[in-house]
Structure 1
Amino acid sequence: MSNFEETAARLVAETHEAIIYASRDGIIRLWNGGAEEMFGWPAGEAIGKSLDIIMPEKHRAPHWTGWDRVMDTGVTKYGSEPLKVPGIRKDGSKISLEFSITMLKDEDGEIEGVAAFLRDVSTAWEEKKSLHMRLRELEQSAEK
C-alpha cells in the first residue's frame, strides 16, 4: 500500500464524521470509526447489515422507494446539498442527521453503491426547535 493509500485509509478510519458505504442492494460494506461513535454499532456488527439499522421504521419504505429509483435511473436530487433526516442508534435513541452522498459507478457507468458522509446535528436541531417554540409563545402572548 502506498503512502497515499495509507493516508486515505487513515482519513476514513479516524474522521469523526460517519462514513458509510452501501452496495446497490443497500447492504453496509464500509463503516468507519465515526459511524461506530455516532450510531453505537461496532463495524463488525454493522457490516453486512441493511441500512435499516440506522433508519427509523416509518422512514424505511420511502427511503427504499427512492433508493430503488436511484439504482434504476442513476439520477438523484441529493448529493451536492446536505440532506437532513432522522436516524436511530443501536440503543434505539433518536438522532438528527445531516449528510451528503456520492454514488460510485463501475467502468461501465453502473452504480456499484453509495457512500454517505454523515454528521450529528441533534444539538442544532433541538436549539432550532426550541427557538421556534419560544417564538410561537411570544407571538401568541403579543396577540392577547
Structure 2
Amino acid sequence: MLPSIDFAELVRAAGDAIVACDGAGLIILWNPAAERIFGFSESEALGQSLDLIIPERQRQRHWHGYHQTMRTGETRYATDLLKVPALHKDGRTLSIAFTVSLLQSADRPAAIVAIIRDETARWTDERNLRKRVAELESQLSEASGVK
C-alpha cells in the first residue's frame, strides 16, 4: 500500500516557488520558497495582484496572456518553460523560469498555479560568458588583421 501524501506539506517543502492565483490574478497561494525567492512574506503576498512581482514593462503582455488563458483554458506553458524577468521585494530584478497548470472548476479554469525557479545566477553567468566570448572573438579578429 502506498503511503498517504500530505499535499500541503509538499507545497511547503518544495524548493521551487509555488504561486497560485484566482481568475482575477490575485495571489491565493504563496509557499515558503516564494517567500525566499521574491522576499515577500505569505501575509504580504496573499490577496495581492501578481503585479507585486511583475516588472511594469511586462505587465500588459502578462495580463493579456493571463486573461486569455483564463478564458480559453489553454496555455502552452504547461509543458514549455517560460523565462521572464520578475521583481524582488527590494526592487532588484530577478530572472525566473516557470511552468503553469490550470486548476479547473466545473467546465472552466478557477486558478492558475505557477511552479517557479530563480534562474538569476545562471542567467548572469551566461550573459557574462557571452560577453567574454565576444571580447575574445574581437581580440582574435584584431590579432589576425580580420575586420
- Shared fold, TM over 0.5: yes
Deviation at residue 8 of structure 1 after TM alignment = 1.1
Unaligned residue ranges in structure 2 (runs of 5+): 143-147
Unaligned residue ranges in structure 1 (runs of 5+): none
Q: One-letter code of the match for 2:34?
A: A
Alignment partners' CA distance in 1, 2:100 and 2:39: 21
For 2:63, the equivalent position in structure 1 comes to: 64
TM-score when scaled to structure 2? 0.90
Q: One-letter code of the match for 1:106?
A: S
Deviation at residue 31 of structure 1 after TM alignment = 0.4
For 1:12, the equivalent position in structure 2 comes to: 11
Match of 1:78, SS state, is helix
* TM-align CA RMSD: 1.3
Matched positions, count: 140
Match of 1:21, SS state, is strand
Over residues 14-49 of structure 1, what are the superposed CA-to-partner deviations in whole Å (9 max), with x where a residue is unaligned? 222110000011000000111111111110110000
Alignment partners' CA distance in 2, 1:37 and 1:31: 11
Q: One-letter code of the match for 1:4?
A: S
Alignment partners' CA distance in 2, 1:135 and 1:28: 41
Return the index of the structure with the highest Cα Rg.
Answer: 2
Which aligned segments of 4 or more residues in structure 1 are displaced greater than 6 angstroms? none
Alignment partners' CA distance in 2, 1:66 and 1:33: 26
For 1:44, the equivalent position in structure 2 comes to: 43
TM-score when scaled to structure 1? 0.92
Q: Quote the sequence identity (%).
A: 36
Q: One-letter code of the match for 1:140?
A: S
